[in-house]
Amino acid sequence: MSRERLARTLPCRLAVVLATLLLGGACGRLGGGDRPAIGFAQITSSAALDQARAGFFQALSDSGYNRDSTLRVLERNAQGDIATLMLIMNEFKQRGVDYVATVSSVATQAALRVINSQPIVFAAVANPYIIGAGASATEHKPHITGANIPLPVDSAFALAREAFPAIATWGSLYDPADPFAEFYLEMARDMARHLGVEFIAVACTAPGDIAPGIQALKAKGVGGILQLPSVMIGSGFAAVVKTARQIGLALVSPNTDYSGVPLALGLSFYNNGYDAGLLMIRVIRGEKPADLPFQTASKRRMVVDLDAARAFGLTIPAAIIARADSVIGAR
């Protein structure tokens, strides 16, 4: 997040969260009772992160851990603000929750900075090693475990090239504040060199930058968008779809959770959240996070949306449709 953006949003958000903290303190400590108490933090709402959240709580429910009956949950959403996340983590610490669950990399980073003793279980993290959670799946900080989801940007790029071979220049928006922006940018650039195409990236620091950013890519000669993963851009992904469609750019995503995308190859955030929920259950039942390896999502899924393709004026090759795991719309 830019300093200017933080300066605009911080005073209002601080006031809201500080009020929440005061109310929370008045309600007393949650942990140590007859029901496990989980502090659940989500950086923002988006299709992918909401799916991870749903999978997490479904895993708990399937094992008999239901909110308000056998489980207490203190759930917070930072609405995209990193400073708010830090206050949320301090609230969890103040309220004495037994466990902390995080959805997204930035939420997990915030937990690592504040939570020193309570077990942390994460979901929707692309690469836990970049954010300092550990050195490997088995060698990590002793109070954290979770399920990571490295989205297949390189494979989605190869699929985009196969589907639309006439497009010689591809592009994407990226959020410089996202901890994985450079990670995914380098992956895309390497694949572009391998495929023999050009790749152009345009910075996007706020949801209002999405439409102008897509238009800037078009002006630079981009013929198709391979949108890189981003929490902030993902929360406004409808603008990516709308603008790309209006100005005639193909759109391919390494995330299958967004609607209106003609072609996507990705991993299930719902399953990723479910895996994190299973790890949380093991921790609740007495296993130590240090003994639980990080779980890496690996089962890819290809989705072809023929209705979206028609709206974009695109034709998906029959060979790709035949390989798809899911085909939306009439053929």
How sure is the predictor about 313, in pLDDT bands with cuts at 50, 70 and 90? very high
pLDDT at 15 over 50: no
Residue type, 128: P
pLDDT at 48 over 70: yes
Q: What average pLDDT is seen over the chain? A: 91
Which residue is associated with the tokens 């989705």?
303
Average the pLDDT over each of 19-28, 86-95, 207-216, 241-250 and give the range with the smallest value. Answer: 19-28
The DSSP call for residue 297 is: P
pLDDT tens digits, residue range 178-219?
888 999 999 999 999 999 999 999 999 999 999 999 999 999
Kindly state the average pLDDT of the residues 10-21: 46
pLDDT at 3: 37
How are strands ordered across the β-sheet holding 72-77?
72-77, 37-42, 99-103, 120-125, 144-148, 295-296
Kindly state the average pLDDT of the residues 92-117: 96
| Beta-bridge mates of residue 72 | 37
Annotate 7-38 with b (16+ C-beta within 10 A) or e (fewer).
eebeeebeeebeeebeebeeeeebbeeebbbb
Which domains are assigned to the chain?
3-150+269-296 (3.40.50.2300), 153-254 (3.40.50.2300)
Could you tell me how many residues make up the chain?
Answer: 331
Average the pLDDT over each of 17-26, 82-91, 267-276 and give the range with the smallest value. Answer: 17-26
Kindly state the average pLDDT of the residues 93-113: 96
How sure is the predictor about 27, in pLDDT bands with cuts at 50, 70 and 90? low
| Spatial distance between the Cα atoms of 261 and 48, rounded to a whole number of angstroms | 14
| Spatial distance between the Cα atoms of 58 and 277, rounded to a whole number of angstroms | 8
Q: Tell me the backbone φ, ψ of residue 276, rounded to 5 degrees.
A: -65, -40
Instruction: Write out the DSSP string of 10-78.
Output: HHHHHHHHHHHHHHHHHH---TTSSS-EEEEEES---HHHHHHHHHHHHHHHHTT--BTTTBEEEEEE-
pLDDT tens digits, residue range 108-136?
999 999 999 899 999 999 999 999 999 99
Q: Which two tokens stand for residue 178?
A: 């996202």
